[in-house]
Amino acid sequence: MSEPKEDGSGGFADRFRRCEGPAMHDSVTVHIDASPETVWALVSDVTQIGRFSPETFEAEWVDGATGPAVGARFRGHVRRNGRGPVYWTSCTVTACDPGKEFAFGVGKPGKALNTWSFHLEPKDSGTDVTESFRLTDKLGLKLYWALLGWARGRTNRNGMRATLEGIKAAVEA
């Protein structure tokens, strides 16, 4: 185990033991010249995500769901890091407030490993849209993030920015 430095911080093992280290969440905000309702209609329609996301190239409602509602389930077809591997994820809508918020957990219902969300805030003549992710606070994810979070965090930030810029371009066209 690393020896703590004089200021109390230490190396990887010390940070991990204390469950500290890089945050397992991040967000990106982009201003879009459209109403919150217009933007929300797009971010909550998971069948459109393939138009904007660099990783999730298609999604579909499952288990009888036909649109956004808390508890509705969908699956997303992901090309990790834009290259692979390619796989399906199961998702459950966890927040659905038209014009304000849309969020979903990735993983089994009630046991999400990661939660993605879009928060919409009216600003000037448009909307500030914040996309964020938060990994569940579990030991395995903490270890993963402590080792690879620097790379995955950058990929997520770039992906969120690309997604929001794509939505901006579509809505403002």
Rounded to two decimals, the pTM is 0.84
Higher pLDDT, 15 or 109: 109
What is the Cα–Cα distance from 58 to 77, expressed in whole angstroms?
Answer: 5
Report the half-sphere exposure of 97 (CA within 13 A, side-chain side): 8
Mean pLDDT for the stretch of residues 98-109? 96
Q: If pLDDT is split at 50, 70 and 90, which confidence band does 131 have?
A: very high
CATH number belonging to domain 25-172: 3.30.530.20
Nearest to 87 by CA among 53, 59, 45, 46: 59
What per-residue confidence (pLDDT) applies to 6?
A: 41
Helix (H) or strand (E) holding 145: helix 139-172
What per-residue confidence (pLDDT) applies to 53?
A: 95
Give the chain's mean pLDDT: 88
